[in-house]
Amino acid sequence: MADKFYLTTAIDYVNGAPHIGHAYEKIMADVIIRQKRQILDDVYFLTGTDEHGIKIQKTSAKNNMTPQEFCDMNFSKFEAEWKLLEIDYDQIIRTSNPKHKKIVQKIFQKLCDKGDIYKHSYTGLYCSGCESFLNQRDLTEDGLCPDHLVKPEEVKEENYFFRLSKYKERIAEHIKTHPNFIQPAYRANEILNQLENIEDISVSRSKSSVSWGIDVLNDDSQIIYVWVDALSNYITALGFDFENPEELYKKYWPANVHLIGKDIIKFHSIYWIAILMALDLPLPETIFGHGWITIDETKMSKSLGNVIAPRDILKEYNLEHPDAFRYFMMSAAPYGKDGNYSDKDFKEKVNADLANNIGNLLNRSLNMLVKYFDGEIKEEFKTPSSCEIAKSAEETKQKVLSHFEKYEIAEAIGEIVDFSNSVNKYVTENAPWTLAKENKMSECAQVLYNILEAMRYISVMLYPMCPNISKDIMTQLSMPLNFKYDTLEWGKLNIGKITEKEKIKPVFLRIDSEFATDKKKEN
């Protein structure tokens, strides 16, 4: 699996417009993928939308639309939001796609033929928010769904059930023998505990209750329920088929990582894995359950009116590209934990790191290069890879790579910021302006070379979060826009005249700065 990398996200339910909770996961996925592309040539990124179920059926009716029209309308909003945030996916799958539906029907029928799906009369507690049946023990003390805080309705139906309990021992054994299977690792015990009391699950609904979904073959009374439908997108998108799977499937499955929210890790690490086992298909390498993003330390809620769309943040701060927002979101939550968005934290973080620290470091250094050396880097400016700043750059590179291997993005960002802080300290301690004043031009040239070469390292390491800022840095250094890690070898900075006074511009304007305010007025 080392030669390829296949990442999937959860598919978003299109019952409403995208918000920053959706964006957090998609940005994280995009950052991981961009970083993998810096190392590997063969990478595939799948995202998508979940378009069936009772909520869409009811909401579309309220809006005097067919379910498909409603899905088409909201899908376009998700598609536009990801374009705005520069989410560079390879494919976005829709579960209303005819090709997906056809393969899901085959999967369902295969499980029926094998005896792993059976029909059963059932009375259960159904939460429409989760679109899931809940056990009494899953509810709060007040008998409410713990996620939606509403009382489930009692539903009596004859549905098809999947023999989930048949696979619980195999799943438990797989979790115990594959320490990287569930990440963060501490979530594995939660899943093992849930497995102990696992029961067979409903995988269809009566059409009298839900009509918007995929028909069960050979049974006009039933539609296929979310688990076989939505979860199968990870293989149907690649062209899985029992008889003649497409090359994409043969090339990329199994997935290297399913990136999902912590609230649906049970469904992926138990339900989905059992389905794959029943189909005799390979299992994904890792299921990573990330935390949530709160707003001013409060969980997002329509009733509270604190649901924020990413495009509104970009518009409010007059951001020409999404780098600052992407950067903040990836800094906001440590590995697997929840994070928080507030306007105050956003402004302070991006101003400190992107404008004051990294941006100002490049700007000052290039201006000194123009002032003292007419913007030219000469061969004799070069310093050996044994110098302290070169060793620090290499150590930082290795730390960033190590963090990304474990999906520790906020921690990787911390290493980049620490390194840029150390380079700023290096500038203060070596004071190239003083060296020039004392006519120590050789020492001055070497200091500036070290700073600018460090900036090239920062540009490559920062690229997954801030592709536009990284491109601006490379452009101002007169370097090719190549962000592969194999370019990060000390001493590769171009020789010759790399800049002129009029070409030096801030790579990131401080939010609420005089310049940014003027740009806002212009618009």
pTM: 0.93
304: left (phi over 0), alpha (psi -120 to 50) or beta: alpha
> What pLDDT was estimated at residue 136?
79
Domains along the chain with CATH numbers: 342-522 (1.10.730.10)
Q: Are residues 81 and 36 in contact, defined by beta-carbon separation less than 8 angstroms?
A: no
Q: Are residues 225 and 202 in contact, defined by beta-carbon separation less than 8 angstroms?
A: yes
Instruction: Name the residue with tokens 């085959």.
Output: 106
> What pLDDT was estimated at residue 305?
66
| Measured CA distances, 512 to 346, 359, 473 (Å) | 12, 16, 22
Q: Are residues 10 and 261 in contact, defined by beta-carbon separation less than 8 angstroms?
A: yes
Ranges in the chain, pLDDT < 50: 1, 514-523
Q: Are residues 295 and 341 in contact, defined by beta-carbon separation less than 8 angstroms?
A: yes
Residues 6+ apart with CB under 8 A from 76: none
Residues 6+ apart with CB under 8 A from 220: 207
DSSP-based three-state secondary structure for 190: helix
Instruction: Name the residue with tokens 């880097």.
Output: 377
Instruction: Name the residue with tokens 């309705």.
Output: 153
| Measured CA distances, 106 to 100, 167, 478, 482 (Å) | 10, 21, 55, 44
CA distance 440 to 428: 16
Residues 6+ apart with CB under 8 A from 171: 195, 269, 270, 273, 274, 277
> What pLDDT was estimated at residue 118?
97
Closest CA to 513 of 362, 350, 361, 368: 350
Q: pLDDT tens for residues 129-177? A: 776 677 777 788 888 888 778 888 888 889 999 999 999 999 999 999 9
Note the helical H segments in 63-148: 67-84, 98-114
Q: Are residues 354 and 324 in contact, defined by beta-carbon separation less than 8 angstroms?
A: yes
Angle formed by the axes of helices 323-332 and 409-430, nearest 10°: 110
Q: Are residues 219 and 203 in contact, defined by beta-carbon separation less than 8 angstroms?
A: no
> What pLDDT was estimated at residue 303?
57
Closest CA to 186 of 410, 330, 336, 332: 336
From edge to edge, which strands make up the β-sheet containing 153-162?
A: 132-134, 117-127, 153-162, 201-202
Sign of the CA dihedral 102, 108, 114, 119?
Answer: negative
CA distance 295 to 196: 35
Q: pLDDT tens for residues 297-317? A: 887 766 566 789 999 999 999
Residue 332 in tokens: 């906001």
Residue 83 in tokens: 């374009």
* Interior angle at CA 98, CA 95 and CA 100, nearest 5: 50
Annotated catalytic residues are 19, 22, 127, 130, 145, 148, 299, 302
> What pLDDT was estimated at residue 2?
60
E strand or H helix that includes residue 93? strand 91-94
Angle formed by the axes of helices 409-430 and 388-405, nearest 10°: 170
Residue 462 in tokens: 């920062």
Closest CA to 323 of 505, 419, 417, 463: 463
> What pLDDT was estimated at residue 515?
39
Gyration radius from the chain CA atoms? 26
Cβ of 41: how many Cβ atoms within 10 Å?
A: 10
357: left (phi over 0), alpha (psi -120 to 50) or beta: alpha
Angle formed by the axes of helices 409-430 and 360-373, nearest 10°: 30
Note the helical H segments in 2-42: 20-37
How far does CA 467 lie from the centroid of its chain?
15
